[in-house]
Amino acid sequence: MRRLVAGNWKMNGILAEAMQFVEELGDNPAPEHVEMALMPPFTLLHPLKEALSAKGIALGAQNVYFEPKGAFTGSISPLMLRDAGCHYVILGHSERRNIIGETDDVIRTKLQASWATGLEPILCIGEHLKEREAGKTNAVLKRQLAILEGTDSGLPLTVAYEPVWAIGTGHTATTDQVTETHAFIHEELARLGRPHCRVLYGGSVNPGNAESLMACPGVEGALVGGASLKADSFMEIVQAAARAAA
């Protein structure tokens, strides 16, 4: 399975910065066995479409609305994302769950709408620190994954395990925690009819820790926030993923 290193720019980036980033990536940046993807803000999707595809980098969005079109001021539909060149869409990111209040039901609806338009969702799951400390990690992940119950297992899906306490904090999960949790997630995905689903790790991934995290059994790539904003650190993580895959 090809590893995926995906950069989630969150609410960062204006056109000039994006163009500089692309230039700094150089030609043919993706090593063998590693797929690269970038999730910039909506405003940068169209401008990045050609430039990224010329470098073999997939494009994705950070969110989508579930209705196909209509009077939903401020929303972006799955078809609009396809039109802008997106292959991926991030769903269920903890910042949307916790700041915007997205529920598992909403995320399930978005999942179906994304599939209906040919997008590949990257479904983010992860526990809060209090939940981990209370021994509830697996129960939380099981509940978040339950939205896959009854879905067509032939539809494309990537899952990203992102412990909430590790996102943007510099507190990366230990390799033991990552290995153990990914084993549980794979077990659960197999039960849900998706034994070959790719599972990424996310949460303070940086050039210094990427190789050891991606060498953990059951980790098939990374969802990178802060360290994906600069071309050099993003590329160092991509190279680390390639070494871990070798």
CB-nearer residue toward ligand PGA: 53 or 98: 98
Q: Is 89 in the site for ligand PGA (CB under 6 A)?
A: no
Token digits for 55? 């470098």
Closer of 12 and 109 to ligand PGA (Cβ): 12
CA angle 124, 101, 99 (to 5 degrees): 80
Tell which positions 203-232 bind ligand PGA, by CB under 6 A.
Answer: 203-205, 223-227
Closest contact distance (angstroms) between CB of 27 and ligand PGA is 26
Print the binding letters for residues 1-40 with ligand PGA: x by CB under 6 A, - otherwise.
-------x--------------------------------
Span 140-179, contacts to ligand PGA by CB under 6 A: 162, 167-168
CB of 88 to ligand PGA, least distance (A): 13
How near is the Cβ of 95 to ligand PGA at its closest, in Å?
7
Query: Exactly one of 162, 182, 188, 220 is catalytic; which is it?
Result: 162
Residue 216 Cβ, how far from ligand PGA at the closest point, in Å?
Answer: 16
Nearer to ligand PGA, 8 or 63 (CB): 8
Q: How many residues bind ligand PGA (CB under 6 A)?
A: 13
Q: By CB under 6 A, is residue 185 in contact with ligand PGA?
A: no
Q: What secondary structure, in 3-state letters, does the chain show?
A: CCEEEEEECCCCCCHHHHHHHHHHHCCCCCCCCEEEEEECCHHHHHHHHHHHHHCCCEEEECCCCCCCCCCCCCCCCHHHHHHCCCCEEEECCHHHHHHHCCCHHHHHHHHHHHHHCCCEEEEEECCCHHHHHCCCHHHHHHHHHHHHCCCCCCCCCEEEECCHHHCCCCCCCCHHHHHHHHHHHHHHHHHCCCCCCEEEEECCCCCCCHHHHHCCCCCCEEEECHHHCCHHHHHHHHHHHHHHHC
What whole-number distance in Å separates Cα of residue 102 and Cα of residue 124?
12
93 is annotated as an active-site residue: yes
> Residue 206 Cβ, how far from ligand PGA at the closest point, in Å?
8
Q: Which residue has the tokens 């306490």?
A: 165
Q: Is 196 a catalytic residue?
A: no
Does residue 202 bind ligand PGA (CB under 6 A)?
yes
Active site residues: 93, 162
Which residues lie near ligand PGA (CB under 6 A)? 8, 162, 167-168, 202-205, 223-227
